[in-house]
Amino acid sequence: MAEGDMPTFKCVLVGDGGTGKTTFVKRHMTGEFEKKYVATLGVEVHPLVFHTNRGAIRFNVWDTAGQEKFGGLRDGYYIQGQCAIIMFDVTSRVTYKNVPNWHRDLVRVCENIPIVLCGNKVDIKDRKVKAKAIVFHRKKNLQVRLKTLHLHQTFENLRTLDLVVIVSVRNRGANVR
């Protein structure tokens, strides 16, 4: 399939600063685990290609800044989003408490956008958000994944983005595995 013929989707990645959004994307791109936190300024767009039973598809992942000071720019990044990941950090209650705000902002701009809720850093023992306390997705009918960015658990990471790919493409009527 020619590069221009590949189906392409815009995936918006949102969540509070420090939840691991950029590390999540870079891990999928390079396999590397970034230990040092560097805040995203505005937005960074990363193309990720997935191979399915229907051929290759590309997701342009819009990795947005989580800091409040960039809040005024976010709506512009969401425009024409076709799927989204809301990420929170299970070691920080406040990042989970902000999930409804991220959801509200996304659906205000992209009304029927398929969303996957993703709990990050589950490998860290000092967990503040327990699995039984994660209920927001039930109210909004979201897919949910608790995942880790632990250095030795690459396959856990892949499952989360695979879920985003499948949910997003199936919501557009394709039978993709």
Share of the chain above pLDDT 70, in %: 66
Q: Is the pLDDT of residue 41 over 70?
A: yes
DSSP state string for 40-80: --SEEEEEEEEEETTEEEEEEEEEE--SGGGHHHHHHHHTT
Do 92 and 128 touch, CB atoms closer than 8 A? yes
What is the domain partition of the chain in residue ranges? Answer: 3-170
Do 146 and 131 touch, CB atoms closer than 8 A? yes
DSSP state string for 101-135: HHHHHHHHHSTT--EEEEEE-TTSS--SS-GGG--
> What is the predicted pLDDT for the residue at 60?
94
Chain-centroid distance, C-alpha 142:
12
Do 128 and 19 touch, CB atoms closer than 8 A? no
Place of tokens 């425009």: 79
> What is the predicted pLDDT for the residue at 23?
87
Q: Is the pLDDT of residue 88 over 70?
A: yes
Cα distance between residue 150 and residue 153, in whole Å: 6
> What is the predicted pLDDT for the residue at 170?
59
Do 83 and 115 touch, CB atoms closer than 8 A? yes
Q: What is the tens place of the pLDDT at every residue in 52-76?
A: 777 888 889 999 887 766 556 678 8
Q: Which amino acid is at 67?
A: Q
Average pLDDT over the chain reads 75
Rounded average pLDDT over 76-80: 91
> What is the predicted pLDDT for the residue at 94?
93
Rounded average pLDDT over 106-122: 85
pTM: 0.78
Q: What is the tens place of the pLDDT at every residue in 129-165?
A: 766 666 666 665 554 444 433 222 233 444 556 666 6
What's 3-170's CATH class?
A: alpha beta
